[in-house]
Structure 1
Amino acid sequence: MDVLGLIGNFIRVVENGSIAAAARTKGLSPAAVSQSLSRLETHLGVRLLSRTTRSMTLTESGKRYFEKVRHIPHDIELASQAAALETRPQGPLCIATTAAFGRYVLAPLMPAFKASYPDIDIELISTDRNVDHRLEGVDVSIRIEAQLNDQLIARKIASLPFIFCAAPAYLERAGTPRKPEELSQHACLVFRYPTDGRFLPWDFIVDGQPVNAKLNPEFISDDIDIIAKIAVNGGGIARLASFIARPLIAKGQLTPLFCPDNSDGDFAHASPMNIYACVNERSALNSKVRAFIAFLEDKI
């Protein structure tokens, strides 16, 4: 009898609040999880859970047992990590990332990461929706600050600038804004988060204080590449991450705004894009994930 497996299922049921929810996290059927609970109760000779069709509660014996065993999966994971410390990181590594960051930053770096860790098999999920680490088998996700939530353990790995920019043709036609408050008089190309429908705010730092600019949204999109293309073709002013804007600026397709040499008065600059590496629990920080995070911190 796999007692550790039965205990693991019991812990998942208690932590998720239902047999069905625990079954989803384990990739099992509710019937299989229910049977494993019955086998554990038979093995122990006590009732751990009081179950009806509508509710589930721990018995007194179940409460005492849960407090004694809840640490076991974590301890086993820590022991496995300790045993693997001297081994080269290997095996599958599933990385989830925002679409733009995956396309412009991660994808070019992946060959170098693979060359450094040839025994790691990489899967890269590029999406702007929220991913569920447990249900989708994600080892680590790369997220911006607005995508963080209390269920994730996040570590800041980089802070990249945003750049306000527009095509030379637009600036010739509409004029060049010198201060953030002038943006309300210009065509603004605004990004909408696909996950919750919010606009990406246009934040500035002026004299060390955050300022949220009032906008005139001329175009709205949940695809930052679409916004960049509209900007390049003279559609208005865009707020782009530096890794998207700088190549377009270097080609002369876009002109940066609010720079020291074209601003009047106090210098204003955009609040940065903070990048975080996220895991669902500390035990997920295995050697593969640690190697990947350290690689990103070194390269970005």
Structure 2
Amino acid sequence: MDLLGLIGNFIRVVENGSIAAAARAKGMSPAAVSQSLSRLEAHLGVRLLSRTTRSMTLTESGKRYFEKVRHIPQDIDLASQAAAIETRPQGPLCIATTAAFGRYVIAPLMPAFKASFPDIDIELISTDRNVDHRLEGVDVSIRIEAQLNDQLIAKKIASLPFIVCASPTYLERAGTPRTPEELSQHACLVFRYPTDGRFLPWAFIVDGQSVNAKLNPEFISDDIDIIAKIAENGGGIARLASFIAQPLIETGRLTPLFSSDHGDENTIASSPMNIYACVNERSALNAKVRAFIAFLEDAM
């Protein structure tokens, strides 16, 4: 009897709230998970869960048993990590990242990372929705500051510039703003978070002080590539991460604004994009996750 496997299925059912949700998380059928619970209860000689077609609750015996065994999978993982601390990072690594950062930054780095760590098998989830580390099997997620929450352990790994920019045709038509305050008189292309509907604010550092610009949203999108494309075609002013804006600036399709190279005494800079590597708990910082984070820090 695979007692550890039965215990693991029981823990996953309790944590997910239902047999069906646990089955999805484990990649098993609901019938198989239900059968494993019955086998565990038969082995223990007690009823752990009171189950109906509509609800599931822990019995008193189930509550006591869950409190005793809930840490077993984590303890086993920690023991495995301790035993393998000197071994080469290996095994599956699931990385979640925002769509744009995954497309422009993470994906181009993956061949070099794989060459450095050939025994790591990579899965890359590129999405702007919220991902659940535990339910979706995510080892590490790469997030910007606005996406952090108290359930994750976050480490800042990079700080990248935002660049406020517009096409030459737009600037010829509408003029060039010289301060963030003038943005309210221009067509602004605004990114909306797909997860909660908030606008991404345009924050600036003006003479050492943080300022949020008042905007005139001409276009709104939850896809930063769409915003970049509208800006490139003269639709207005965009605030883009440097990894998106810089290639368009180098080819002359976009022009950066608020540059300090025109001799003004005042200094204006867009607040940077802070990038964080996040894990669900400290025990998730295993060898392959640490290898990926260190590689990303060095590359950036």
TM-score normalised per structure 1: 0.90
Q: Distance in 1 between matches of 2:2 and 2:133?
A: 26
Consecutive unaligned residues in structure 2, runs of 5 or more: none
User: What displacement does 1:196 show?
Assistant: 3.1
The aligned runs of 1:139-288 (5 Å cut-off) are: 139-262=139-262, 266-288=266-288
The aligned runs of 1:1-300 (5 Å cut-off) are: 1-262=1-262, 266-300=266-300
Higher mean alpha-carbon deviation, 128-137 vs 219-228, is at 128-137
Q: Distance in 2 between matches of 1:255 and 1:14?
A: 55
Q: Distance in 1 between matches of 2:233 and 2:57?
A: 61
Amino acid aligned to 2:227: I
User: What displacement does 1:87 show?
Assistant: 1.3
User: What displacement does 1:132 show?
Assistant: 3.6
Q: Distance in 2 between matches of 1:92 and 1:51?
A: 34
Question: 1:254 and 1:134, CA in 2 relative to 1: closer, same or farther beyond 3 A?
Answer: same
User: What displacement does 1:61 show?
Assistant: 2.4
Superposed CA RMSD? 2.2
SS in 2 for 1:199: coil
Contact 2:159–2:274 at 8 Å: present in 1 too?
yes
Q: Distance in 2 between matches of 1:158 and 1:252?
A: 27
User: What displacement does 1:135 show?
Assistant: 4.4
Q: Distance in 1 between matches of 2:50 and 2:103?
A: 50
Contact 1:183–1:213 at 8 Å: present in 2 too?
yes
Q: Distance in 2 between matches of 1:267 and 1:129?
A: 35
Amino acid aligned to 1:227: I
SS in 2 for 1:33: helix
Q: Distance in 1 between matches of 2:121 and 2:62?
A: 40
Q: Distance in 2 between matches of 1:230 and 1:21?
A: 41
User: What displacement does 1:151 show?
Assistant: 4.0
Equivalent residue pairs, number? 300
Amino acid aligned to 2:159: S
Q: Distance in 1 between matches of 2:170 and 2:263?
A: 18
User: What displacement does 1:74 show?
Assistant: 0.4
Amino acid aligned to 1:291: A
Contact 2:25–2:136 at 8 Å: present in 1 too?
no
TM-score normalised per structure 2: 0.90
Contact 1:179–1:264 at 8 Å: present in 2 too?
no
Amino acid aligned to 2:24: R
Per-residue CA shift, 1:211-265, capped at 9, x if unaligned? Answer: 2211111222222222222222222111000111122222333222123235866
Contact 2:218–2:236 at 8 Å: present in 1 too?
yes
Contact 1:178–1:264 at 8 Å: present in 2 too?
no
Q: Distance in 2 between matches of 1:127 and 1:14?
A: 28
Consecutive unaligned residues in structure 1, runs of 5 or more: none
Q: Distance in 1 between matches of 2:226 and 2:55?
A: 48
